Chain A
Amino acid sequence: MEATLTTDILFYLFSAAILGCGLMAVTVKNLLHSAIALMGCLFGTAGLFLLLDHEFVALMQILVYIGGVVIFIIYAVLLTTHLGTRYLPASTLKYISGVTLAAIVLGLVLHIDPQATHTAVNPDRTATTIDAIGYRLLDGSTNGFLIPFEVISVLLLSAMIGAATIAKHQKPGATNDEDETGGSAS
């Protein structure tokens, strides 16, 4: 997308949404609220991806992340009755260390960022098509991602089975959760 005033405005809007929701997600007391805030944050990110010409990623973000992972988090919050309601305040020391560490990392990263040498958008760039992604994923040659793709598939499968096994111990009904997880991941 061309860099115009509109995109700038949109970028800052999305940024504000992302950061605002992100901050909420880590600060609000009710866990259900923070999950919803996270959802907002992810939506914002998806919008940012659209702004950056990555429609496929934006779509995946919404489908898989929001539709799968976050929904599942909400499920888990609801399943375990105490999770959502009772608030466990952290100690002051934890807040201080959290702020400090966050500041350290932020400072470090911001210190590195300005050194990024190449900041202009390549005028000849073309948006990545889904076809291209599919071909690259299944390409077994030097530039292809076939092996990682296979590995990820196996990893997902084993994670599914593992999750099912872990959760199955107590109640047979727990298998339902795993089915959903597996479904959302694929």
Chain B
Amino acid sequence: MNLTACLSLSAILFSFGIFGLMTRRKIIAMLLAIELMLNAALINCVAFAYYAPAGADTDVGSILPIFIVAITSAEMAVALAVIVAMYRKRKVIDIERLEDLHD
């Protein structure tokens, strides 16, 4: 176990997230992939804090995840509300059919 291994782990997880993001058509599934990517970021934060050189502010390794999780929660709340509302309204969950952005 070392920093490189941790970072490689997070990189692979992140690329899984990207893969999921690109291949999923349901919005919730895409959100799920985003969660994976955020998770990868968290791993990075913690790993850097753990392998920090002497004199570095390692508290940040704990505080930054707090913010990340908080922001994620906020984002999830809004996103899921939007998804539910949209589903109720349009009965569509396929992202490929939600093309209204281009107009």
Contact = CB atoms under 8 A, between A and B. Distances in A.
Interface string A4-34: 0001100110010011001101110001001
B5 interface: yes
B32 A136 contact: no
A: interface residue count bin: 35 or more
Interface of B: 1-9, 11-26, 28-29, 31-33, 35-36, 39, 42-43, 46-47, 49-54, 56-59, 61-63, 65-67, 69-78, 80-85, 87-89, 91, 93-94
Given A25-B36, A60-B66, A72-B80, A15 B9 contact: yes
Interface of B is mostly: helix
Contact of A73 (B13, B28, B67): B28
Contacts of A171: 88
Contacts of B80: 72-73, 76, 163, 177, 181
Nearest to A29: B29
Interface string A122-164: 1011001000110011000001010010001001100110111
B47 to A, nearest CB: 6
B50 A11 contact: no
